[in-house]
Amino acid sequence: MAMTAGTTTSFPMSNHTRERVTVAKLTLENFYSNLIIQHEERETRQKKLEVAMEEEGLADEEKKLRRSQHARKETEFLRLKRTRLGLDDFESLKVIGRGAFGEVRLVQKKDTGHIYAMKILRKADMLEKEQVAHIRAERDILVEADGAWVVKMFYSFQDKRNLYLIMEFLPGGDMMTLLMKKDTLSEEETQFYISETVLAIDAIHQLGFIHRDIKPDNLLLDAKACSAHGHVKLSDFGLCTGLKKAHRTEFYRNLTHNPPSDFSFQNMNSKRKAETWKKNRRQLAYSTVGTPDYIAPEVFMQTGYNKLCDWWSLGVIMYEMLIGYPPFCSETPQETYRKVMNWKETLVFPPEVPISEKAKDLILRFCIDSENRIGSNGVEEIKSHPFFEGVDWGHIRERPAAIPIEIKSIDDTSNFDEFPESDILQPGETAIVNSKFLSMTCQNTPQMLLLLLLILIFSDTLIKVIHRLDPETFFQ
């Protein structure tokens, strides 16, 4: 806007300029939000240090030394956060996961030798399938969430072809692999894993996120060399949700809500169903279609959904742990969809598989319409269910895992499938980053932030000049 002698004149703003201003605003919001989070984290670490020193009864001189050491570590931590990383800083060791979004590799940071899981996402797929918002949601929750229940992200960067998330490597594998190794879990084992997953889901709900893709593949198990572990951590926050056709209502557009005609499964006993399910399960996990087995019916509907959809998914997982296969499994995703939408008729328990009334009641209270679903009155409603009797909710991660997982080394991949190599990491041309992915990189330079601030402040006329200049030329 320009003011002249009591009149107001509007300058037209091109779509390109409008997009750049929006991206600038988003980047600044992201930058200052991260500053606040980092400041709060530093204060929390400082308070923990003070509490620990008081509990140890240290003398003033020893406290002073500890504070000095802590300050040096904080300075080094900030230096590392400002370091701009790229693909050349990591050595790829092995492919440990693959799907519609790209793949996950075990990598080693060259200067420190630390082991990480590198999630590689093809930008072309993200743009084609309109997944940029899902990627941003994944990055945001990995940055904000408590590391006790969520796979930690250490770095993120990008090049012309891909986005890269450098994440905590959990050598214990995932719940899908564990369930495929066993016919069923005992009720004691099921209680342990469902309890931990309740706390993990609640942790992300408290941050304001909905996972929407809770399934055994996304329940990872931690492990440490020379010790037995196997506690749950959540992964994949929304990245696969929209990418897989199984999560899209239009994939089933031509299907009706009539009762399913599942001829392949209807005459099988529970043992044969479990065998058939496990035979096809891994193929479904890595396909571009995926499976709707764990998705709440309201997610498919146009009326909207809320965080309660995650509790439905947990009920399906609990059923699978105890019975050997999920309640709506079928030969095709279409048949599974029909069963999910007709859950009142299709959610049944096979008489030949023993299951307690407490367990059955909890599953039925998870897998019900969202208005009556357990958890609608808060997570305490779930914790107080009789199935969880005896669970020490405040110290569950301190107890031994229900099924201990042992590994031989920090880069042990024995709990992961074998995958052939791909060309996803072949170097491409250096290019300007697509503006839609600008806020995905953790590192920001002060010069770029100042430039973005100027873009926000000044008029459209100046923007038309600035946006044609690279930062170095502009500051000269």
Return all residues near 130 (Cβ < 8 A) that are at least 6 apart: 242
Residue set of the binding site for ATP: 119
Q: What is the pLDDT of residues 271-329, one digit of tens each?
A: 666 666 666 665 555 554 467 899 999 988 867 888 999 999 999 999 999 999 999 98
Per the annotation, the verdict on 213 as an active-site residue is yes
Instruction: Provide the pLDDT for residue 31.
Output: 65
Q: Tell me which CATH code domain 175-398 carries.
A: 1.10.510.10
Instruction: Please give the average per-residue pLDDT across 374-403, as a whole number.
Output: 95
* Residue 451 confidence (pLDDT) above 50: no
* Residue 254 confidence (pLDDT) above 70: no
The amino acid occupying position 22 is T
Distance CA 420, CA 427 (A): 19
Label residue 264 by pLDDT band (50, 70, 90). very low
Spatial contact of 175 and 221, defined as CB atoms under 8 Å apart:
yes
Which CATH superfamily hosts domain 84-169+416-442? Phosphorylase Kinase; domain 1 (3.30.200.20)
What are the φ and ψ backbone dihedral angles of 281, each rounded to 5 degrees?
Answer: -60, -50
**The residue to which tokens 């996304």 are assigned:** 218
Handedness of CA 348, 352, 357, 359 (dihedral sign): negative
Instruction: Please give the average per-residue pLDDT across 57-69, as a whole number.
Output: 90
Label residue 128 by pLDDT band (50, 70, 90). low
Predicted TM-score of the model (pTM): 0.69
Instruction: Please give the average per-residue pLDDT across 463-473, as a whole number.
Output: 45
418 versus 323: which is more confidently predicted?
Answer: 323
**Distance of alpha carbon 248 from its chain centroid, rounded?**
19
Q: Which of 213, 217, 293, 310 is catalytic?
A: 213
Which pair of tokens denotes residue 65?
């030394």
Residue 245 Rama label (left phi>0; alpha psi -120 to 50; beta): alpha
Residue 97 to residues 74, 147, 174, 320, Cα–Cα distance (Å)? 34, 22, 11, 22
What are the φ and ψ backbone dihedral angles of 106, each rounded to 5 degrees?
Answer: -80, 125
* Residue 458 confidence (pLDDT) above 50: no
Instruction: Provide the pLDDT for residue 440.
Output: 47
Which of 122, 135, 123, 118 lies closest to 242 in space, CA to CA? 135
What are the φ and ψ backbone dihedral angles of 90, each rounded to 5 degrees?
Answer: -130, 145
The amino acid occupying position 130 is E
What are the φ and ψ backbone dihedral angles of 169, each rounded to 5 degrees?
Answer: -95, 125
Instruction: Please give the average per-residue pLDDT across 435-459, as a whole number.
Output: 46
* Residue 448 confidence (pLDDT) above 60: no
Label residue 434 by pLDDT band (50, 70, 90). very low
Out of 100-114, 136-150, 203-217, which region has the weakest mean confidence (pLDDT)?
A: 136-150
The amino acid occupying position 337 is Y
Instruction: Please give the average per-residue pLDDT across 168-185, as a whole number.
Output: 89
Handedness of CA 455, 458, 461, 466 (dihedral sign): negative
% of the chain with per-residue pLDDT over 70: 63
Residue set of the binding site: 119
3-state per-residue secondary structure call for the chain: CEEECCEEECCCCCHHHHHHHHHHHHHHHHHHHHHHHHHHHHHHHHHHHHHHHHHHCCCHHHHHHHHHHHHHHHHHHHHHHHCCCCHHHEEEEEEEEEECCEEEEEEEECCCCCEEEEEEEEHHHHHHCCCHHHHHHHHHHHHHCCCCCECCEEEEEECCCEEEEEECCCCCCEHHHHHHHCCCCCHHHHHHHHHHHHHHHHHHHHCCCCCCCCCHHHEEECCEECECECCEEECCCCHHHHHCHHHCHHHHCCCCCCCCCCHHHHCCCHHHHHHHHHHHHHHHHHCCCCCCCCCCHHHHCCCCCCCCHHHHHHHHHHHHHHHCCCCCCCCCHHHHHHHHHCHHHHCCCCCCCCCCHHHHHHHHHHCCCHHHCCCCCCHHHHHCCHHHCCCCHHHHHHCCCCCCECECCCCCCCCCCCCCCCCCCCCCCCCCCCHHHHHHCCCCCHHHHHHHHHHHHCCHHHHHHHCCCCHHHHHC
Instruction: Please give the average per-residue pLDDT across 364-369, as a whole number.
Output: 97
Angle formed by the axes of helices 309-323 and 357-366, to 10°?
150
Domain range list for the chain:
13-83+446-475, 84-169+416-442, 175-398
Instruction: Please give the average per-residue pLDDT across 104-121, as a whole number.
Output: 92
Both ends of the chain: CA-CA distance in Å? Answer: 28
